[in-house]
Chain A
Amino acid sequence: MLILTCPNCGETKDESELHAHGEAHITRAGPEATDEEMETYLFERVNPKGVHFERWHCSYGCGKWFHAARCTNTLEVFGTYSAQTTEPPKEIIDILDKKRPGWSWRKFGGTAQ
């Protein structure tokens, strides 16, 4: 059972006190979107073995959303950060560059690449 620290309330919690909501950094497709864009937005998700960015909800805590960067293979948590961003913050990128040189995820990737 994972433990994550909610960046909003600062509490470190068991997975059972939180709720995972899948992939982070999905751009909403609006009314002008093509069918293909809509399909991508609604249904296409990655399932990486390794670095992943996820949406989490502090559901039995402060009730706020946050993002987590973690490794789906080793379960290492690289960090959690505000959900109110469209891309991973620099400090997370720096950690990943150090711990997983050459990492990539969606359109994001390590500077080493």
Chain B
Amino acid sequence: MSTRLSQGGRLIDRSAQQGFSFNGKRLKGYAGDTLASALLANDQMLMGRSFKYHRPRGVIASGAEEPNALMNLGAEGKFEPNARATTTPLFDGLEAASQNHFPSLEFDVGALNTHLSRFLPAGFYYKMFIHPRPFWKHIYEPFIRQSAGLGKAPKARDVDTYEHFYAFCDVLIIGGGIAGLQAAKVAADAGLEVMLVEQDPHWGGRAPVDGTGIDGKPAQDWIDTTVAALGDMPNVTLRARCMGAGVYDHGYVLCYERLTDHAPKAAGPRHRLWRVRAKQVVTATGAIERPLSFAGNDIPGVMLAGAVRDYVVNYGVSIGDRTVVVTNNDDAYRTAIALKEAGLEVPAIIDARTGGAGALGDQAKALGIRVETGKAIAKVKGGKRVTGVGICAQAGEGSILEEIACDCVTMSGGWSPVVHLWSHCGGKLIWDDALAMFRPDGDRAPTSHDGNPFVITAGAANGALSDVLADATAQAAEVVSRCGGKTDAAAPTEANTAENAIEPIWLMPQGAAHKLRSKSWLDFQNDVKVSDVQLAAQEGFESVEHAKRYTTLGMATDQGKTSNINGLAILSKELGVDIPQVGTTTFRPPYTPISMGAIAGEARHEIFQPLRKTPMHDWHDANGAHWEPVGHWRRPYCFLRGDETPEKAVHREVLNTREKLGLLDASTLGKIIVKGPDAGKFLDMMYTNMMSNLKPGRCRYGLMCSENGFLSDDGVVARISDDTWLCHTTSGGADRIHAHMEEWLQTEWWDWKVYTANVTEQYAQVAVVGPNARKVLEKLGGMDVSADALSFMGWADGTIGGFDVRVYRISFSGELSYEIAVPANQGRAFWDALLEAGEEFGVMPYGTEALHIMRAEKGFIMIGDETDGTVIPQDLNLHWAISKKKDDFLGKRAQMRSHMADPNRWKLVGLETTDGSVLPDGAYAVGEGTNANGQRNMIGRVTSTYHSPTLGKGIAMGLVHHGPDRMGEVLDFPRVDGTVVKAKIVDPVFYDKEGAKQNV
């Protein structure tokens, strides 16, 4: 059983007990524990179930690479799935639950899959679920959906807060082990701005666990001195619990700081995402130990050698009383020695190398540990816990020579440098045969904007498993030089025990039969075994990227940190090529999963995006506004009175406007001033119609197209003076159209003398609409608004009720209408004055829906309803607004292309249901016959549809094949429920076709 030792544990505080729960069970740990070390201290070795076979799994690692020990943490607004127990700091009150089991962790019915594993080989899902086809929808998919996924998705809104920080530095060093600390010291001493981040709460990495001596003292002394010195330097920023998550173009790095995961009651944000721009990046990210592939290597109690050493030294936790060590390198001997020194039994070290270890081997033997060289593990015995191992010759096929009883097996297949961050932005790797590892190729580093390398690796991450400080010093000196500085820093003396060479062992024993290979795990989380990768190779998945996807090797939440190298070694052997020829899969950020909250940062709720408000916004809000978003604006859809429904309110607003007087807050309409000697010429290019010949004092409705010919925006243009025009755009289009104008002015006609200015927010604009519109303006008084003084499509400056106004006599409703602009800061006062003066004339504000209905009754198109980016003005019968006199305008040539000039294009018509009902929005009209997919042929679609309060029936507009030639024809519009609405093709102008009402 695993337990807490009576002594030891450099990271825990035995005076601070912490209560926590696992699957509802109350347990105790110490401050400084991780969830994994605390569970192990409570003999909770079983921590989860694997993804495919639901096999019992224990923790195998002690850090970020852990594939098995994934937990659901917390509850409700603090719930988080897939948290690694090894990187989850323990705190008092922590609630954890294991994942991927039913009905319980100890007894899981899905574990039946392990007995079916013969029938669930690599590519099983692809092979199985193809036939018969109908089974997919009703049997296979529901089954897969039921079994897929590890943790549960959170249901409640996240109650924590998150933030982003921006930082700039000369050198960002990722990894605060001794390599990172030394690199930081060298760079900082050279006067550079340095930021050093470390994912763990502690500095120094593995050195104190491995017993490294620096300058003749224990590593911890040097670490403490160096951290203190760096902390005192003004040019150094130190962040622990902060992981370098991703390295991106031109020295951009994301770091993920976990501020309160260890103290969830503390104030402040939970996570912080650092967005760092560094001139140089040093990745001092250490190395990850590889498992060995032998039968039963996934049974709880089989762990990585470094991890077992960590649990003993850092947390005072023993995994078992009797630990068998199996290795192909010297480093695992350190674990045997550490266990022995902690008073635990090590029945044997199984060293696959015939030559065995160097000085560490002698040390182990001196402690009385039995060392077997040239041997391997044939199989591990046990179910939910290791009970023993069978020993065989590594050179053989697995005949068991001896069985050794034990409750822990600790393995080491060598160390792989953590090259992820080096590789994110294109750093290349080389295979080092002597060290049996992929390590960064310093000659092919990621390059920055100036073409020079901006990432360098130091220490174990660079393949320097020993002489770490010498390597870190050399790499830091290179970085200092790249930053234009100078250093003559020397490396501290590092005491290293000489080690014998590693021997690459990818399968144990080397001739293992299929029965053993099919129990030898590579990817623990996704249940990929040696036999699966071999099958993939046999079936032709030769590319490592294909084999990965076929077998799912390395595709779990750990992204194959412990499995990828072993997997591609097996693949290379099966393909008969060298490992570097197989290559690696692509390393993508983030290094380990980061929270969605950290990515979102502060961009939540009301500050997700800025809200634009008109000067009258508060009045609307206080008077029943039923809001709708229009771009970043909020506009009243309608104004609710009492317990009115929106539908009733819209009905009332339309009728009141048509019969009496309506007010619309039109401030959101885009207003762009175009000014200069060439402004007329420019607008003739921007609009399909002629704007240069518009007379000052007059207005003209205009259309804008893209260079592809498609209708992009519309609005009324007023000529203010000889060289000045004011262009109205749609509410959502102001910024886009202003940018469009600027693009053409700056990049095509840069010699034209034209200025543009977007003055949308400088003015409040009110549409005063209805038969009583003139009366209310005359009552307020100040300027002549009679038909003679200000005729339809004219504009004039003046005063009304003491306000400086510009009055446009334009109408989007078909009624007598004045759109009146006032300086924005007078908008609310003007609105109030109109409401007060209009009371006797039956004034009522109306919203966007009434506006839409009234324009539809008049057959006016709306950008975004009648247009969708594929519609040209000709489709909408707007030929009258396309100048034939102009040589050129944006979109003119494109509109002559064959498909644009095709008479078979759908064209705009009005639609009137035969039963008076409202056509469903977006409904399609169907014609004779079917298309290649067996669907009914479509001959048109609804673009706008409303109930018209004025006419008392449903009205609509739509685009119909040969529409204008088919007046009076009745079309079928199927509804979603299968029933059909019949609608007659009619003129799109339903109301006052002659325009008599607006021109009075």
A→B interface (CB under 8 Å): 1-4, 14-15, 21, 28-31, 33, 35, 38, 42, 55, 57, 59, 63-65, 71, 74-77, 83-84, 99
Contact = CB atoms under 8 A, between A and B. Distances in A.
Contact of B747 (A30, A63, A84): A84
A77 B746 contact: no
User: 5 shortest A-B CB distances, which residue pairs?
Assistant: A76-B451, A84-B750, A1-B252, A77-B449, A65-B746
B893 A30 contact: yes
Contacts of A38: 893-894, 897
B545 interface: no
Interface in B716-773: 739, 742-743, 746-748, 750
B232 interface: no
Contact of B746 (A4, A28, A59, A84): A84
Contacts of B979: none
Contacts of B747: 55, 65, 83-84
B517 interface: no
Contacts of B249: 1-2, 15, 75
Could you say which of B250, B748, B750 has the most chain A C-beta atoms within 10 Å of its C-beta? B250
Contacts of A3: 250-252, 277, 449
Contacts of A55: 747
Contact of A42 (B742, B748, B887, B894): B894
Contact of B450 (A4, A29, A76): A76
B693 interface: no
A20 B897 CA distance: 28
B746 A31 contact: no
Contacts of A28: 707, 748
B248 interface: yes
Nearest to B248: A1
Contacts of A65: 742-743, 746-747
Contact of A75 (B447, B742, B750, B887): B447
Interface of B: 248-252, 277, 426, 447-451, 707-708, 739, 742-743, 746-748, 750, 887-888, 892-894, 897-898
A57 B743 contact: yes
Nearest to B742: A63
B755 to A, nearest CB: 13
Contact of B888 (A14, A21, A31, A77): A31
Given A65-B742, A84-B747, 7 more contacts: A3-B250, A3-B252, A30-B893, A38-B897, A63-B742, A71-B451, A77-B449
Nearest to A77: B449
A24 B266 CA distance: 53
A4 B742 CA distance: 21
A80 to B, nearest CB: 11
B244 to A, nearest CB: 15
A48 B558 CA distance: 35
A64 to B, nearest CB: 6
A21 B447 CA distance: 24
B749 to A, nearest CB: 10
A66 to B, nearest CB: 9
A57 B743 CA distance: 9
A1 B454 CA distance: 14
A61 to B, nearest CB: 13
A113 to B, nearest CB: 21
Contacts of A76: 447-451
B447 to A, nearest CB: 5
B451 A99 contact: yes
A84 B748 CA distance: 8
5 contacts: A42-B708, A74-B447, A77-B449, A77-B450, A83-B750
Nearest to A41: B707
A65 B250 CA distance: 22
A99 B898 CA distance: 45
Contacts of B451: 71, 74, 76, 99
A15 B277 CA distance: 12
A101 to B, nearest CB: 14
B876 to A, nearest CB: 22
Nearest to B886: A31
Contacts of A31: 887-888, 892-893
A63 B756 CA distance: 12
A75 B894 CA distance: 35
B709 to A, nearest CB: 9
A31 B708 CA distance: 12
Contacts of B708: 42
A4 B898 CA distance: 41
A4 B451 CA distance: 13
Nearest to A78: B451
A57 B742 CA distance: 10
